[in-house]
Structure 1
Amino acid sequence: MTRCVTRRDAIALFGGLTAFTLAGCNSSNGGDKVYKIGVLQLTEHDALDAANKGFVKALKKSGLKYKIDQQNAQNDQSACQTIATKLVNDGDDLILAIATPAAQAVAGATSDIPIVGTAITDFAASGLVKSNKKPGNNVTGTSDLTPVDEQFDLLVKLLPNAKTVGVLYCTAESNSDVQVKMAQKAAKKRGLKAVRYSVSSSNEIQQVVESMVGKVDACYAPTDNTIAAGMSTVSMVANENKLPVICGEKGMVDNGGLATYGIDYEALGYKAGKMAVKILKGTSKPADMPIEHLSIKECTLATNEKTAAAVGVDLSVLNS
């Protein structure tokens, strides 16, 4: 059936085409487009909060217009799934996933929306990408692979008489196993015995740390989110029993750990934010963006003088 095109129809058609063209321009070079960005953070603790802060800082510096939907799963796996589904259904332009379980939940919910992950030890080992050098899908981001060797050098310098080290981690986090294996290798290399002490949830932390007392000379806690979030409990038991804890990152030291040589999580998040900006501007695609790391030069020493006094460790040896 043939339909006559009225003047009103023509104006409407022209207006629609104009709107489409303008939207196309905006999507390629920014313009007035307001990008919808969803953020799924696994839980609240200093490192993940800092990564989130760094990501937002990079967005602000980019000059892009955006709206962020900040969501926190409070370390609940089912909440991760629910929030991931919500962010995908909202039709976000990009999703930031902070920590491995958060990224796994989002990656399982969409293969189309670009995902930038941060505070993730090994993207490939966690099944998030095909390869850390060439992701090959809609996921990329920044790794918080901790400098385990340097941290064990620190342990040996502060605790020269240590023979046995308890490695504290949560079995629910796949990336923690990667770090535990690295810790065992680093310990063996330095003539130390590394013994695994695991929890399945935060409710077990106190009991497991108490079980270390009298059996190990020191505790090593990698960048495990469950342990980091429960660091006040770890330090309460450890410090009372003069058990030194070498940590994976600064926030854990601030919450009662003895010392670390670790990465700057705000800088890590900022690097992830810069990657997100490239994706939003259309200059890069996640599939072709290698997983990025901070350099060893961007790692910093952090110590806790109050904890050192409590466990009887002399921090001045670090100056020699």
Structure 2
Amino acid sequence: MGRTVIVGDIHGCFDELLELLEKIGLRSDDLLVSVGDLVDRGPSPGEVTRLFRERPNSVAVMGNHERKHVRGIFSYAQEITRLQLGDRYAETVEWMRTLPYYFEDEHVRVVHAAMLSGIPLAEQKEEILSGTTSGQRELTALFPDGHWHDHYTDAKPVVFGHHVTGHEPLIRDARIFGLDTGACHGWNLTALCVPGFTVHSVEARADHWSNVRRQWQLPVLKSRSWCDFTWPELAAELAMANAKFSSTADAEARGWLDAVEQWAADLRSSFPALVVAARQAADGCTNDELRRHRAARFLFQARDGRLDEAALARQCPTPGKTADLAAALGLAVPESPTSR
């Protein structure tokens, strides 16, 4: 009879996952279960998700990181994963939508983050099961002096991840099993084999999240829609990027970010020249000639004395629109770093 092999938070650590499954001696009749958080922070989210998608007899529970991708809630880790998965990102997210929020058999329950005693799993809140911010707030209100699992009274053992327990798993009363042992941070990847309730671990090969954060700085910066941000949004994005990467960015990423700031400043400073160019282009033109011009709207406003820098800023709210107008008026356009 096959075992149920439950693996803690993998976070894209594929090599460690293969090593752990080899150490366990995973067989085809074993049920492989993930507590969730297959992706984000590690080097190989595509390989991890592919294994669970393609291996028969495998289940992955919805983790808060999968849920972020499903709901389009992006921070730096999700931006990196989207780039890592490339063309496979959309289909992988569609697969994530199908993930259950829990697993249960006759021996054990598996959730990503938490559950409440005395309530059937099917009636638990998804936010608590998967470990969202709102779910954590609710747990804190319910158990202000401890963790949810300190108050777990049901007889059936529960296995979970989400909260890093340290290099070793959290095991208590043969009913509480916390398996997130920080594989993506350079600690361990841990699994529990049921019904024997034996624990197996392998050491991580690196502090993957530190490495991935550095490696993907420039690709993430280049992937953002700098030309389409409004000017206030652009200023906010630049401020955020400068704060985030001020001490950790490599020279190439730092230089590229500086180039974006200079490009934006050059475009903004071109507004007076754009107004002058529009007035010059409109001067002496007939209505038909103005209508045929690529910048017709601006030229009519210039001819009628209604175009100034404030009006131009309202109609060119993004760097992209500003660059398009400059090109239409025949002015030199600062090269966007995003095209390099």
Tell me if both proteins adopt one fold, taking TM over 0.5 as the criterion: no
TM-score, normalised relative to structure 2 = 0.26
Structure with max Cα Rg: 2
TM-score, normalised relative to structure 1 = 0.27
Higher strand share: 1
